[in-house]
Amino acid sequence: MSSTRTWFESVAEAERRARRILPPSVFAAIRAGAEGGVTLSENVAAFSRLALLPTVADLPAERTLATVVMGTPVSFPVLLSPTGVQAVHPEGEVAVARAAKEADTLMGVSAFASSPLEAVAAVTEKFLFQTYWSGSRSLLTSRLQRAREAGARGLIVTLDWCFDFRRDWGSPWIPQRLDTKAIVRYLPELVRRPGYVQRYLAAGGPPDLGVPNMADLRGEVPGFFAAFEEWMRTPPPTWDDLAWLREQWDGPFMIKGVTRVQDARRARDIGATAISVSNHGGNNLDSTPATVRCLPAIVDAVGDDIEVLLDGGVRRGSDVVKALALGARAVMIGRPYLWGLAAGGTLGVTNVLEILRAGVSETLYALGKASLAELNRADVLVPDGFAIGDRQVDG
């Protein structure tokens, strides 16, 4: 299907449309990686260094893409990673939830989301709540209880960020609140993006920078920077802290941000049911290896005991298949669906998911595989020195 005004053929086209629609500062906040963007670029480029080996006969007429992730059946192995303050579209996470429901897959809802958990739960039952180690233990348990009552299918604990805002090309300015002073400062950008302004005017006004899922024990909703300060002021967790947190959540439990074998083993040992091999999309420590390079050694170390997901650099259905052939249960995407959200709201997110779904199906067909379970490492040519071995990751 060729691209039209409301439909696009590739994730790259979604990115181009998002760039045209969003104010430059908003687009930069999504697109940028830490410091020089080395890891951001490597996450994507690493997939191109993996070759696939197609076959030409006895190809499967039908392919099964369904799998189970953290105890929840999904129609294909692509999940929507939690991302905070989705100011690319007025409906934010609610629009994403509609697309996730239509695609029959799981979405992650960030503690720093623009929309409350309950608004997402009203649209889809298949969602995971993501939290940071932030605030007191009593505050953490209250947030977990709220997620449990909302119906979250699992918990994601994100650990892969060292508060690095440095960008070699400059970090976009983010206001404390969208007051008159902030709007005046943004005015030159807004004048150039009338469609973005019209969306918000039609929705009732500029985005609210409050983060409802970080409400305190009295139920008061903090602004983004107040919530961020709480997080930064909280001493980082020990493995004992994470073991305690695991005990507070009686359902599926994921630790996100693993790139070392030793961390994968510790996550398994505290009872985590899943890990996400992730470097925060290149927004953590720059020069961290691409996640797909870290994946094989981690799968070899813990893959029989725990679900291993991959997050970072996925732009095509063939990337998904490569990750699964190397042992991932599923992948998580962030920027691609945010670009789709910016380009077309729910329809744009659906568009991105359908691009990836079609790509997974077509790649399986070319490989002669009728299901995801038939994939194995023999389907991928991994160049010498590509995979980060146990010694390098665990040393």
Which active-site residues does the annotation give?
280
Separation CA 323–CA 376 (nearest Å) = 10
Q: Burial code of 320-338, b = ≥16 C-beta within 10 A, e = fewer?
A: bbbbbbbbbbbbbbbbbbb
301, 264 in Cβ contact below 8 A?
A: yes
3 phi and psi, to 5 degrees?
-65, 145
Helix (H, G, I), strand (E, B) or coil at 288: coil
List for the chain the helix, strand, coil content (%; round to 5).
Answer: 45, 15, 40
For the chain, the residue count is: 395
Separation CA 62–CA 187 (nearest Å) = 52
Q: For residue 381, give the DSSP letter.
A: E
Separation CA 40–CA 18 (nearest Å) = 18
Which class for 37: exposed (0-12), middle (13-18), buried (19 or more C-beta within 10 A)? middle
Separation CA 107–CA 148 (nearest Å) = 15
